[in-house]
Structure 1
C-alpha cells in the first residue's frame, strides 16, 4: 500500500482551532498515552501515540544533538495517521513540520486564554524555527501584539528573526534578558538547561511560556518565577514526569491547572501575578493537527473532483 504524503498547509489560527476543538470535545488530557523516550547512539528516539474515535496516529521523532554541526536538522521525524474505527493507514505527514506547527499553536492557545487584554510586548528567547513560529502564531491570535524583543546568544540569527518579525508588521529589536521587565508576554524557545532570566523581573501582568525542554533536569525559568506565578501545564501527570522548570522548583500537582481546564474555563485566570505555562509536547496535539490537515486535504480533493464533473 502506498500512502498519500500530505503537506502541512494549515495556518497557525487553523491549528489553534483544531487543538481547541479537541479539548472542547472532551479529550481527557490526563489519560493520554505516555510518550516513550528511548536512548539511542545518536541521541533520543521519541514514540508518541494518540487516539480519538475518528483517528489514531503515531509520531516517530528523533533528537540528534550532533546533527547541526554537519548541517542536518537536530529534530527528525514522520507521522503516521490511521483511520480510528479500522486502524487502516490513511496518510503520512512530515513529523518535523508537524511539530513546528503544533508547538507554537499549543502555546498560542494557552496564551490567548492567559494574556491580559492589552498585551502588546513579546519577549522571545531563542532565534530558531520555533522562535519564529511562536512570533507568527501569537501574531495570529493576539491582535494587540505590536512589539517583539528577541533575546538570543548569536547576533546573526537574532537579527534575522528581528527582520522576520518586522515583516509581520511588528516593532522588532534585539535585546537582553532584562527585557522581561517590560514584557506582557515571554516565550522561551531554547535548548538551555539553566534559567534564562531573573524571574523577579517579570511583571505581575505578564504571562510566560517555556517550550524548550521535556527533561526533568533542564529548565528555562527559575524557581523565583515558578514560586510567584500561577501555573498551567498541558497535563499534570506529564508535567510531573518531564517538566524540569517545575520539578526543579519543587512543585506538586496541587499547584497545576491543565490545558483542558484552561480552555473550558474551569481554571481561574488571575492578572495580579504572573501566569506560567509549561509545555513539553503531547501526542494528542500532533493527532489533532494532523487530522485537521487530513480532513482539509480530503475536502480539497472532493471539491476539485466536483468542479471537474
Structure 2
C-alpha cells in the first residue's frame, strides 16, 4: 500500500482534471451511504468525527475519516485533518492511504467550481471570499479555473490572514482586503463562504441581481453563513438532497424560521450536470449553491490522484 502525502495530492490534482472527474462521477453515480457523523466532547470544546464511505459498482472502494476541531484556530493548527483509504474493487485490497486534508480541501473547492460552471454568470470577474482558513486559497484557484476572475476580495475576522492571502495572489489578480461585507457582497459576481460560523454573515438584502452565492463552510445543522433572506431571494441548489436535508444549517434554519421549504430547492448538482434540471436561467438570477460535502467527491478525487501517479494506469 502506498502512502500519498499532501504534497503529492497537490501535485497530482489539477483543477481541470479534478473538476472533470467530479463531473463524470456526479453524472454516473456511485454507491454512497450516509456519512457517519459523530460529535466528540473534548476538554477544550466540541469536535466532530466524520466517516465517509463510497464505492463504484465494479471498481474502486474508498472511505475517508475526518476530524474537525474548530478550536484549533486558537493554537495555529488546521481545524480539519484526516486520511483517505483507497482500495481496488476486484479483491478489496488497499491501494493507498492518502492525506485527507489536502484531498478534502481540493475536492470541496472543485465541487463548488463545478457548480459555478452551471450557476455563475459566464462573465463573472469579481470573487469575494469570506473566510481565511485553508480553503480560502483553494476556492480562489478553483473558481478562477472555470470563470474569468480578475478581482478577488477577501474578508476575514483575522486581518493579517486576509492580508496574507491577498498578497499571495496579488500577481495573478487585483486583490484587496475588505472590512465592509455589505459593500463587498454588492460588488461581487461570486461570493464564496468558507467559514465555521454559527451566525449569519451574509444578508439577503445585500445581494444584487446576477450574484452567485457559494456556501461551503457550515456542515452541521447548528451552523450557518447566511440569513433566511438569502435563500428566499435565490434559486437554491445543493450538492445532494440527502446531505442538505441532514446537515445544511443554512437551509434547515431558514426552514425553521418559516422562510423556506425543502421543496423550494431547485435541484441537486447531479440533476443539473446531467441536464435533467436547468441551472442558471438568466443573467439577473440570484443563485445559491449549498454544499456539505459528499463521499462521491472524495472517491472521485482519490481515484484522480491514484491514476495520475506515475506508473498507475486507469
Tell me whether the two structures share a fold, i.e. TM-score over 0.5.
Answer: yes
2:26 counterpart residue number: 23
Map of 2:35 onto structure 1: 35
Q: CA deviation at 1:302?
A: 5.8
Per the alignment, residue 71 of structure 2 pairs with 66
Give a deviation string over 1:60-110, Cα, whole Å, max 9, x none: 111123333334322121110011232111111001111111110010000
**Structure 1, unaligned stretches of length 5 or more?**
304-309
Alignment of 1:89-100 (within 5 A): 89-100=94-105
Q: 1:302 to 1:117 in 2, by over 3 A?
A: closer
**Mapped partners of 2:173, 2:110: distance in 1:** 19
Q: 1:133 to 1:302 in 2, by over 3 A?
A: closer
Q: Is the 8 A contact 1:231 1:277 kept in 2?
A: yes
Q: Distance in 2 between matches of 1:181 and 1:64?
A: 32
Which of residues 150, 161, 170 is equivalent to 1:157? 161
Distance in 1 separating the partners of 2:222 and 2:74: 24
Q: Do the aligned partners of 2:306 and 2:312 also contact (CA within 8 Å) in 1?
A: no
Structure 1 residues 214 and 86 mapped into 2: Cα distance closer, same or farther (>3 Å)? same
- Inter-partner Cα distance in structure 2 for 1:202 and 1:118: 17
Unmatched 5+ stretches in structure 2 = none
**Pair 1:114-2:119 in alignment:** yes
Within 1, Cα distance between the matches of 2:196 and 2:296? 23
User: Does 1:263 pair with 2:266?
Assistant: no
Do the aligned partners of 1:228 and 1:273 also contact (CA within 8 Å) in 2? no
Residue among 189, 192, 197 paired with 2:194: 189
Q: Distance in 2 between matches of 1:73 and 1:116?
A: 33
Q: Which residue of 1 aligns with 2:15?
A: 12
* 2:89 corresponds to 1:84: yes
Match of 1:172 among 175, 183, 197: 175
Q: CA RMSD in A?
A: 1.6
Q: Which residue does 2:300 correspond to in 1?
A: 288
Q: Is the 8 A contact 2:38 2:48 kept in 1?
A: yes
In structure 2, relative to structure 1, the CA distance for the partners of 1:302 and 1:105 (3 Å cut) is: closer
**Paired position in structure 2 for 1:307:** none
Query: 1:32: how far off?
Result: 2.7
Q: CA deviation at 1:192?
A: 1.1
Quote the Cα distance in structure 1 between the aligned partners of 2:297 and 2:15.
Answer: 13
Deviation, 1:233, is 0.4
Aligned residues: 294
Q: Distance in 1 between matches of 2:253 and 2:41?
A: 27
Mapping of residues 189-228 of structure 1, within 5 Å: 189-228=194-233
Deviations 1:158-203 (A, max 9, x none): 1111112213x21111112121111110000011111112211111
